[in-house]
A and B are shown apart, each in its own frame.
Chain A
């Protein structure tokens, strides 16, 4: 600390003495500074920015003639099946994000109240594994559990005579089946995001509220929840984005029989259906726009979080 203060003092006195030189030095310095950043920038340009740019450009072009057009968007918005795909994708993401956020928050709170250290660490470790366990293996884990011949399906039929598929009209390969599978990776993610936010609640706030006569519920309504709210909204946004872009899980589960936007885009890339590439670009743009809104809300909320929790 003292050394740092001394160096800044010295550099300040030096800059006070030499007033003419810095401007010329700064130019060379800042050019070399940017040069060191160029390899990374170039890499991101080639594999991150240009793919986004070309999707924006091609969504406004006719894929056959190359002329400027709005037809791609018109087709997307006028055909019921594409509108329906967006509706399904959005409601799937909203439902799983809300389910994940609600149950995940209470589970995280239960974990936060858990005084047994090893149990707490065990659950946190398990949540990290479960949050990373997604995609194809997750889909097959659910097929093995709740598929037509799945372990639980057969167990329910044999022991309780409950026929999930023929009696209750349940199907793992439908909207609600996907909800079940997506919730599996949403829950642990919510726990992992919420736990640090809960730990950042200072005990002093609780003590101060109690000293002023607040009951537990008043403390939660007036103090804790308002402070936690930005974190909770940010987490929900992350969960939404997490399931909105999911392709592998849905594809492995239903092999393209469910009508959601990522699956449609997959069809266009594989070129196996009569879907127009220009339309594919418009669909991709639709996803990007919805996700951009989500991500900007997420970052806005994170900024509020850091104001309260000093991060």
Chain B
């Protein structure tokens, strides 16, 4: 739109702009740096693909495929998929109703919610793993009192969570909070939650029915984007899994890389494609939804490094 104005309507302004126009059209410093950055981002991928395919001098597709026949490969991939499904489900079940509840009934708690969603930034995965091991591994009176007796219950036999996948899933839910709460909350704010809910209530709908049939379908893009990001993060998470001693796909990848760099390169390419599928899924599913302005708000990216 701005360009149309520049060229035609106003002669005086057109002249002023003409002085700056060549700079815009030229292949300037910004374009050069953009190209360099893109090169930096693509070269390792290309090199990894070539490295995974090549043994000695020739290219062999067999060695590339042999990486995927290892029984450990399918087993760890299945474990990671299971963890990712469980985490995604628990995250959506826990965060979505709470975000709706806070938006509708408890706006006062919003700062607290935002704070809780920000804490994982200040407490990185490695520190959280350390803290969780200490909370559930050692008896501590302060913790027992502060948790209302829940920690001793969870760290002893019938409900023992120490070093189990269950504890890992709970930790993953916390790790994903920053990029799960924000898109859901943004969507809730965008759809005028209060009016929709009051309309539903006045027509005789209960809280759960309103949530499930009115609110949830309306915030689906945010939920899907949050869910896919969670799934992708858990598929690649190494820190917590390795410190809890659970044999997931990234741990298998790390172990493979220590002995066979070529095999690791093939698996790396596979992980890249997995990440790509999830991210493209988010972009397509969120962008395709019609009639929703403001979907250009950025993807929240916080993979665990």
- B304 near A37 (CB under 8 angstroms)? no
Asked if B190 lies at the interface with its beta carbon under 8 angstroms from chain A, I say no
Asked if B74 lies at the interface with its beta carbon under 8 angstroms from chain A, I say no
Asked if B265 lies at the interface with its beta carbon under 8 angstroms from chain A, I say yes
Q: How large is the interface on A (under 10, 10 to 19, 20 to 34, 35 or more residues)?
A: 35 or more
Query: When A110-B34, A269-B130 are in contact, do A196 and B297 touch as well, CB less than 8 Å?
Result: yes
Residues of B within 8 A of A123 (CB): 34, 38
The distance in angstroms between the C-alpha atoms of A141 and B270, with both chains bound, is 11
Chain A residue with the shortest CB-CB distance to B98? A40
Asked if B37 lies at the interface with its beta carbon under 8 angstroms from chain A, I say yes
Residues of A within 8 A of B237 (CB): 135, 248
Q: Give min CB distance, A273 to chain B, whole Å.
A: 14
Chain A residues 167-199 with CB under 8 Å of chain B are: 182-185, 187-189, 191-193, 195-196, 199
Asked if B197 lies at the interface with its beta carbon under 8 angstroms from chain A, I say no
- B146 near A136 (CB under 8 angstroms)? no
Chain B residues 233-282 with CB under 8 Å of chain A are: 233, 236-239, 242-243, 250, 253-254, 257-258, 261, 264-265, 267-268, 271-272, 275-276, 278-280, 282
The distance in angstroms between the C-alpha atoms of A285 and B82, with both chains bound, is 33
- B254 near A141 (CB under 8 angstroms)? no
Q: Give min CB distance, B182 to chain A, whole Å.
A: 12
Q: Give min CB distance, B55 to chain A, whole Å.
A: 11
Query: When A44-B116, A48-B119, A136-B236 are in contact, do A131 and B301 touch as well, CB less than 8 Å?
Result: yes
Residues of B within 8 A of A42 (CB): 150
- B253 near A111 (CB under 8 angstroms)? no
Residues of B within 8 A of A86 (CB): none
- B143 near A152 (CB under 8 angstroms)? no
The distance in angstroms between the C-alpha atoms of A224 and B198, with both chains bound, is 43
Residues of B within 8 A of A143 (CB): 257, 261, 264
Asked if B285 lies at the interface with its beta carbon under 8 angstroms from chain A, I say no
- A196 near B298 (CB under 8 angstroms)? yes
Chain A residues 92-132 with CB under 8 Å of chain B are: 103-104, 106-107, 109-111, 113-114, 123, 125-132
- B45 near A188 (CB under 8 angstroms)? no
- Give per-residue flags for A124-161: 1 if the beta carbon is below 8 A from chain B beta carbons, else 0: 01111111111111011111111101111000000000
Chain B residue with the shortest CB-CB distance to A34? B106
Q: Give min CB distance, B91 to chain A, whole Å.
A: 10
Residues of B within 8 A of A287 (CB): 124, 127
Residues of A within 8 A of B28 (CB): 110, 113
Q: Which of A50, A107, A211 contacts B146 (CB under 8 A)?
A: A50
23 A-B contacts (beta carbon < 8 Å): A3-B195, A34-B109, A46-B151, A52-B123, A106-B30, A110-B34, A113-B30, A132-B278, A133-B272, A133-B303, A135-B303, A136-B238, A137-B253, A137-B272, A140-B265, A143-B261, A144-B48, A192-B299, A210-B20, A245-B124, A251-B242, A284-B127, A294-B122
Q: Top 6 nearest A-B pairs by Cβ distance?
A: A51-B131, A245-B124, A110-B34, A246-B305, A110-B30, A248-B238
